[in-house]
């Protein structure tokens, strides 16, 4: 339903369209009835299999038919076939689903069927090389998902699938190469929040395994995000990533440094909502977490209130929110 | 712009749109054929919100719809062996949820409800990690199915089909650093799944009060979720579903209802909100995702549900809608009907509802 455009038609064209619609529906319903009847009678023939292919091309969201197709694989197509033949069948279905995904990139049933295919690849091609089929097919998956993300860099199905591939494939590429992938995506478009998000996940892994030194890495990330901020201060993605880097704000020196840096940007871009919002956020963190070390708490409080007053003006949808925050600061309550 | 300057809600036209969709859909909609029960729910829900169920439909039609809905109830034993399903349609978690709501809207007495079967079905759908698949042994699993399982259990007032602790643990893992909840752990926050997460956590049996702090939501999660949700309201008044995406009418519900559940509905700019949804009305009836877009029952229903949660005092009376139960996503009147007829034991009847 999302993404159906309106089109205008002339009278004659409208009649023709009506007829086409009618014929298409008739064909679909007849095919659907046929396939369902066969499923009911447990028809596991090749003919039935071909019919499910036709039906799924018309309606890839028909999850019942994907189930039926998988049943046929397990019950009739796989048994009595060599691993090489099974692998071939699964490759065909991977091709089919790739073709369908290009037209229907957000249909759960298609992505789901792909996973099922991958998980059923047989051992082979030989006893010395039991993972050959798997390696070759799984390695291609990254290529497939990259194509999908080239077409729509925000497709969350594709990003979730990408994470699934990296977590499950027999010989995944090193996390650093995934980090490089996110760098490419971010540099192509700073607004691509999905890429920033993936980056946060990959970095967390690299820090946990010790592959990257956390302190040094965070320094570099702050540089990267500062660059993005200055290039496009209106981009929400950048600020959310920055907030992730700040984390719980336990490191006072970093908070102070970033506040100064953002203030400099605000001086150049006096109407930047995100600068103001972030300054309030980080100053509140200072007040909340580092009160005992603060020289002039009152100055910080006043500064927040001043920023919130400006935010009310330039960001009207969130007026009530800013009022509520100001109230909280005035009464000295914990951040809501 | 004040509420009184807004265009009217075209109630008759929207009811007409959904009524037409209940009769038939064109071939361009082939792909929602497998989700008929969901489409049915959006249509019935729209009519319910507009108070038009009895005005715009005949009893014989309603009887037909109820019969159609009951025809979708499967009655095979629910186990782990897929061969046991010889009905053409395996039971589906999301469709089960929409079916119960639809039957309640149509004021069915639920005598035919296979409560034990549904509980066994829920058990068969829950995975090790606490999430639920759409059907036993297959289908994707994410927060949508968790929500449906929780909503169904809550409506049945029977939680024996759900391992609540494991499910809650899964939900919490879906919490994103942005605020909000992703579809799966590691996913970016989405408006729809944020609603599913919060509604589930507030439906959970240990939580009795929408206004008290929820034991399953940390202060930090609550704070950043509120922040993320509020930032999703665009200057047009509509909500987007994700960071850096465009506004879409359906997210007015998913994000708006989330804020309502968290008790901060007052922070939403209601005039802008209403103004956006007003502009999404299609001139021949129905509401689309954005101004000038084609309408559909999904966006029509969710827009009205969102409007029911955020009434505007000085708006034209055409905008007046009944109170909505944000956790089940239905009118309070329908919610009352559910409470009286869906559980096996209700407060009114001391013995089971079934004879």
- Checking if the pLDDT of B56 tops 50, the result is yes
Contact status of A62 with chain B (Cβ, < 8 Å): yes
Say what the pLDDT of residue A6 is: 60
CA separation for the pair A5, A3 (Å, rounded): 6
CA separation for the pair B231, A322 (Å, rounded): 12
Q: State the Cα angle at B234 between B284 and A326, rounded to 5°.
A: 140
pLDDT digits (tens, 9 = 90+) for A39-51: 989 999 999 999 9
Label each residue of B132-167 as H, E or C: EEEECCEEEECHHHHHHHHHHHHHHCCCCCCCHHHH
Element (H, E) at B325: strand B324-325
Chain A to chain B, count of Cβ pairs less than 8 Å apart? 139
Tokens for B250, please give them: 């359906």
pLDDT digits (tens, 9 = 90+) for A166-202: 999 988 999 999 999 999 999 999 999 999 999 999 9
> Which one is predicted more confidently, B4 or B123?
B123
Contact status of A82 with chain B (Cβ, < 8 Å): no
pTM of the model: 0.90
How many CB atoms are closer than 10 A to CB B184?
20
Q: State the Cα angle at A167 between A166 and A171, rounded to 5°.
A: 65
> Residue B244 and residue A63: Cβ atoms within 8 Å?
no
> Residue A25 and residue B26: Cβ atoms within 8 Å?
yes
CB A188 within 8 A of CB A218: no
Tokens for B19, please give them: 């009524």
Say what the pLDDT of residue B355 is: 32
- Across the range B11-18, mean pLDDT stands at 92
Say what the pLDDT of residue A334 is: 55
Say what the pLDDT of residue B79 is: 35
Place of tokens 């999404």: B280
> Which one is predicted more confidently, B96 or A6?
B96
> What confidence tier does A335 reach under pLDDT thresholds 50, 70, 90?
low
Say what the pLDDT of residue B28 is: 75
Average pLDDT, chain B: 89
Say what the pLDDT of residue A312 is: 96
**φ/ψ of residue B118, rounded to 5:** -65, -40
pLDDT digits (tens, 9 = 90+) for A240-280: 999 999 999 999 999 999 999 999 999 999 999 999 999 99
Q: What DSSP string runs through B9-74? A: P-HHHHHHHHHHHHH---GGGGGGGGGHHHHHHHHHHHHHHTT-HHHHS-HHHHHHHHHHHHHT--
Q: What percent of chain A has pLDDT over 90?
A: 82
> What confidence tier does B351 reach under pLDDT thresholds 50, 70, 90?
very low
- Across the range A93-98, mean pLDDT stands at 96
- Across the range B88-113, mean pLDDT stands at 89
> Residue A318 and residue B233: Cβ atoms within 8 Å?
yes
Of B105-109, B208-212, B237-241, B312-316, the least confident? B208-212
- Checking if the pLDDT of A316 tops 80, the result is yes
> Which one is predicted more confidently, B281 or A8?
B281
Say what the pLDDT of residue A145 is: 94
Say what the pLDDT of residue B318 is: 94
pLDDT digits (tens, 9 = 90+) for B272-322: 999 999 999 999 999 999 999 999 999 999 999 999 999 998 899 999 999
CA separation for the pair B121, B103 (Å, rounded): 19
The ipTM of this complex is 0.87
CB B295 within 8 A of CB B244: no
Q: Measured between beta carbons, which residues in chain B are less than 8 angstroms from residue A67?
A: 82, 90, 135, 138
Paired strand residues for B126: B132
- Checking if the pLDDT of A31 tops 60, the result is yes
Q: What percent of chain A has pLDDT over 70?
A: 96
Number of alpha helices (DSSP H) and beta strands (DSSP E) in chain A? 15, 0
- Checking if the pLDDT of A331 tops 60, the result is yes
Say what the pLDDT of residue B191 is: 97
How many CB atoms are closer than 10 A to CB A10?
8
Q: Measured between beta carbons, which residues in chain B are less than 8 angstroms from residue A321?
A: 230, 267
> Residue A237 and residue B243: Cβ atoms within 8 Å?
yes
Average pLDDT, chain A: 92
Say what the pLDDT of residue B349 is: 47
- Checking if the pLDDT of B86 tops 50, the result is no
Task: Please identify among residues 237-296 of chain A the ones whose CB lies closer than 8 Å to any CB of chain B.
Answer: 237, 240, 243-244, 248
> Residue B28 and residue A58: Cβ atoms within 8 Å?
no
Separation in Å, CA of A179 to nearest CA in chain B: 15
Q: Which of A203, A223, A201 is nearest to A212 (CA)?
A: A203
Say what the pLDDT of residue B70 is: 86
């Amino acid at each position: 339903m999302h993404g159906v455009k309106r089109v205008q038609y002339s009278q004659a064209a409208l009649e023709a369209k009506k007829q086409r619609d009618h014929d298409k529906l008739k064909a679909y319903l007849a095919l659907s009835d046929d396939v369902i009847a066969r499923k009911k009678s447990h028809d596991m023939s090749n003919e039935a299999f071909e019919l499910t292919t036709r039906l799924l091309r018309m309606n890839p969201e028909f999850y019942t038919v994907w189930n039926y197709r998988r049943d046929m694989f397990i019950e009739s197509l796989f048994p009595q076939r060599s691993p090489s033949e099974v692998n071939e069948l699964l490759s065909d279905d991977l091709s089919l689903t790739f073709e369908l995904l290009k037209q229907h990139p957000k249909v759960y049933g298609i992505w789901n069927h792909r996973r099922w295919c991958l998980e059923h690849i047989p051992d082979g091609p030989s006893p010395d090389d039991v993972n050959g089929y798997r390696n070759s097919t799984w390695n291609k998956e990254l290529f497939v998902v990259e194509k999908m993300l080239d077409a729509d860099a925000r497709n969350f199905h594709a990003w979730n699938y990408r994470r699934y591939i990296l977590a499950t494939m027999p010989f995944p590429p090193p996390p650093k190469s995934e980090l490089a992938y996110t760098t490419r995506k971010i540099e192509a478009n700073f607004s691509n929040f999905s890429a920033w998000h993936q980056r946060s996940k990959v970095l967390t892994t690299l820090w946990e395994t010790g592959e990257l030194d956390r302190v040094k890495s965070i320094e570099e990330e702050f540089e990267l995000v500062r660059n993005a901020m200055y290039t496009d201060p209106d981009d929400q993605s950048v600020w959310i990533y920055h907030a992730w880097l700040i984390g719980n704000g336990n490191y006072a020196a970093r908070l102070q440094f970033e506040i100064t840096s953002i203030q400099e940007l605000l001086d150049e871009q006096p109407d930047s909502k995100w600068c103001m919002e972030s300054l309030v956020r980080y100053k509140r963190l200072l007040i909340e977490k580092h009160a005992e070390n603060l020289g002039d708490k009152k100055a910080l409080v006043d500064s927040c209130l001043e920023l919130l007053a400006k935010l009310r003006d330039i960001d009207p949808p969130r007026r009530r929110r800013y009022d509520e925050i100001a109230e909280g600061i005035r009464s000295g309550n914990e951040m809501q | 712009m004040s509420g009184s300057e807004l265009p009217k809600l075209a109630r008759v036209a929207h009811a007409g749109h959904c009524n037409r969709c209940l009769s038939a859909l064109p071939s361009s909609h082939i792909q929602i054929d497998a989700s008929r029960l969901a489409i049915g729910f959006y249509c019935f829900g729209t009519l319910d919100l507009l108070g038009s169920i009895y005005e715009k439909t005949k009893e014989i039609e309603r009887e037909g719809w109820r019969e159609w809905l009951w025809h979708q109830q499967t009655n095979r034993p629910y186990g782990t062996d897929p061969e046991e399903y010889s009905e053409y349609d395996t039971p589906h978690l999301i469709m089960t949820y929409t079916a119960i709501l639809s039957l309640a809207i149509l004021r069915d007495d639920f005598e035919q409800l296979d409560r034990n079967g549904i509980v066994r079905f829920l058990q068969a759908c829950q995975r090790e990690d606490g999430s639920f698949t759409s059907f036993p042994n297959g289908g994707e699993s994410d927060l949508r199915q968790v929500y449906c399982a929780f909503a169904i259990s809550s409506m049945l007032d029977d939680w024996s089909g759900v391992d609540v602790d494991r499910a809650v643990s899964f939900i919490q893992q879906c919490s994103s650093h942005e605020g909000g909840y992703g579809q799966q752990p590691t996913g970016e926050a989405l408006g729809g799944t944020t609603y599913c997460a919060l509604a589930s956590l507030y439906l959970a049996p240990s939580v009795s009060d929408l206004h008290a702090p929820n034991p399953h939501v940390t202060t930090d999660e609550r704070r950043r979720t509120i922040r993320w949700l509020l930032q999703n309201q665009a200057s047009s008044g509509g909500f987007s579903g994700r960071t850096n995406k465009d506004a879409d009418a359906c997210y007015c519900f998913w994000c708006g209802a989330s804020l309502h559940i968290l008790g901060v509905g007052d922070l939403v700019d209601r005039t802008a909100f209403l103004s956006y949804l007003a502009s999404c009305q299609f001139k021949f009836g129905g509401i689309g995702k954005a101004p000038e877009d084609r309408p559909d029952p999904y966006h029509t229903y969710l827009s009205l549900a969102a409007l029911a949660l955020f009434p505007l005092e000085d708006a034209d009376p055409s905008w007046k809608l009944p109170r909505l139960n944000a956790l089940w996503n239905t009118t309070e009147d329908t919610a009352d009907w559910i409470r009286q007829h869906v559980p096996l034991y209700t407060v009114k009847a001391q013995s089971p509802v079934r004879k």
